[in-house]
Structure 1
């Protein structure tokens, strides 16, 4: 049996990756943060290995005896926009995983990045894997650190012959989101906590589809190549309408002009600093909401056999799971 070291195994994508790997007959060593929320792993026959990605000796020990590595561990925090922990985990953790993979001489490493390290575009001309990074103006350590981590992987491919393939999911939707990460937007819409509709948009993907393509990358794809894992490009108005229809609630009535969104972000951030609490919104998040993060995913569809489950199904399955868990 081939064994895979999976970092971030107890995350939203990680839980689906564990299930996909087990279904294909791989052994899974699940690298998770100590005292982390491991509910998504309950009942799964995986080897749970607690550790901090920044502890290189522990990462090396975890990698020993593994044939493959899927590095999905990261901190995706965007509020506050600046965080030393995010930078250290995403860059330092990737450096540690690369060093461990080199020492263990693994057959392949799959690095899970984010589509945001590429330039986005319009629906008519969406961004792709050749589009240069456009995230600097946001001032988000998450995006900047993932871009730096991506560069580390590419450098290791060139300089150290690391057999790495890079996958970059867009915005993931679906069940098993125990920590309520990207699906928080669905719950907020269901609870009518969203005041208005931002002007921008995103590319969305069913999380299980991202897991399938990521596991496919263990044996498919070209070393040193990046693949955007996504599906439907939807404006926030289109996405909110779809969620409202499925959840049987009213969508927000008004579209918020970009200038107003930016002002709300600044006021929210100022209020948070004044009161000494974390604001619900910051300037960077407002800027992101004003932009259209649309991507072309044909490269992954053609090369990694990325499934294209309709986002309607992803939303429905997310709400079915919410009901099972008592969230709605």
Structure 2
């Protein structure tokens, strides 16, 4: 059985490829020409070089495959407008979906994001029944993933293509070559001062998510979504855990929400009037001041999702970063 994986050289994509190979699937890894393939070094998979926004490339990639896992996406937070994300995150998903219909793929797995569901608290974490927060429409990334997710689920019944959606939270893992989510370590490691916002995240092991993606491909219910979540931690607790592992003791300094939100509004003005891409907009400021906590209860029950302890995930990831400078 052959599985197409888009975005195969990314943090999650490379872990999905490894998981599939470990389970004896043949893998066709779709990557852009000239992209960094270090995360896939030494793996026995077929490489298909093409663009996910090109219909011809997409159809050639899908042809002769039994399953397709669409993990490729634009995830950067700058610029924040939907237009910057629409072609890669929405139109490419439509092209993949249509190609899967054309070649009668057994199942199409769309990798979305936990942000498509409303967050919760540590006591009552968000789940798949929580509606999309309307204020996140101003996040081009989150809103583009929601549009793509809704398109996949709605068209699935119309075209009789078996689909399932997975919604990972914030990934922690090895082989983060770019790096992507691993940039969060740079706020702590080798720093004299660590500034932290008042909010928090759900952190999940990339290998654990890869296993959940493959389980969803094999066991997930048609047209269902599965949150692939790990441990809910405030930012200060997360940074303290990283400090213990790296045996460092920087000074922790809280940043009040009012100050972050003020900076965020300033970022909005820079984007709007001067067309300057900024990391901190009012939407991003609200996000990091919020407890973005989720539960993987549904995935654990229905697709045997395995949650790896965060301490273990952090130790592996930090060791990988240290070894790879």
CA deviation after TM superposition for structure 1 residue 151, in Å: 0.3
**Is 1:298 paired with 2:297?**
yes
Cross-structure match for 1:38: 37
Give the drift of 1:121. Answer: 0.8
Alignment-derived partner of residue 212 in structure 2: 213
Distance 1:197 1:321 in 2: 24
Distance 1:275 1:153, change over 3 A: closer
Q: Please report how far the alpha carbon of residue 250 of structure 1 lies from its aligned counterpart in structure 2 after TM superposition.
A: 2.6
Match of 1:292, SS state, is coil
1:138–1:186 distance in 2 versus 1, CA, 3 Å: farther
CA contact (8 A) 2:119 2:292 kept: yes
- The residue number in structure 1 matching 2:240 is 241
| Whole-angstrom distance in 1 between the partners of 2:225 and 2:234 | 25
In the alignment, the residues of structure 2 paired with residue 191 and residue 267 of structure 1 have an alpha-carbon distance, to the nearest angstrom, of 29
Shift of 1:276: 7.5
- Tell me how far 1:166 sits from its aligned partner: 0.8
Q: What is the CA-CA distance between 1:192 and the residue it aligns to? A: 2.3
**How far apart, CA to CA, are the structure 1 residues paired with 2:173 and 2:127?**
24
User: How big is the shift at 1:191?
Assistant: 3.3
- Structure 2 residue ranges without an equivalent (≥5): none
Between the aligned partners of 1:195 and 1:298, the Cα distance in structure 2 is 33
Quick check: 1:201–1:234 contact (8 Å CA) kept in 2? yes
Partners of 1:202 and 1:233 within 8 A in 2:
yes
Shift of 1:53: 1.2
Task: Specify the SS of the correspondent of 2:219.
Answer: coil
* 3-state DSSP of counterpart to 1:190: coil
Matching of residue 284 in structure 1 with residue 322 in structure 2: no
Alpha-carbon distance in 2 for matches of 1:41, 1:169 = 21
Residue 89 of structure 1 deviates from its aligned partner by: 0.6
Match of 1:307 in 2: 306
Name the Cα RMSD after superposition: 1.9
Shift of 1:63: 0.5
Q: Give distance in 1, aligned partners of 2:40 and 2:199.
A: 35
For the Cα contact (< 8 Å) 1:167–1:226, is it kept in 2?
Answer: yes
Contact 2:192-2:250 at 8 Å conserved across structures: no
In structure 2, C-alpha distance between the alignment counterparts of 1:118 and 1:313, rounded to whole Å: 27
Q: Give the SS at the match of 2:72.
A: coil
Q: Distance in 1 between matches of 2:131 and 2:159?
A: 24
* 1:324 positional shift: 1.2
Normalised by the length of structure 1, the TM-score is 0.94
Classify 1:21/1:79 alpha carbon distance in 2 versus 1 (closer, same or farther; 3 Å).
same
* Uncovered stretches (5+) of structure 1, i.e. residues with no partner: none
| CA shift digits 1:129-156 (9 cap, x unpaired) | 0100015346111000000000011012
Partner residue of 2:85? 86
**TM-score for both structures, normalised by structure 2:** 0.95
Q: Which residue of 2 aligns with 1:167?
A: 166
Contact 1:136 1:144 in 2 (8 A): no
Task: Give the Cα separation in 1 of the matches to 2:136 and 2:165.
Answer: 24
Q: Pairwise mapping of residues 38-77 of structure 1 onto structure 2 (< 5 A)?
A: 38-77=37-76
State how far apart, in whole Å, the 2-side matches of 1:193 and 1:291 are: 26
Identify the residue that residue 22 of structure 1 maps to in structure 2: 21
Q: 1:74 to 1:13 in 2, by over 3 A?
A: same
Q: Is the 8 A contact 1:32 1:51 kept in 2?
A: yes
- Preserved CA contact (<8 Å) 2:136 2:142: no
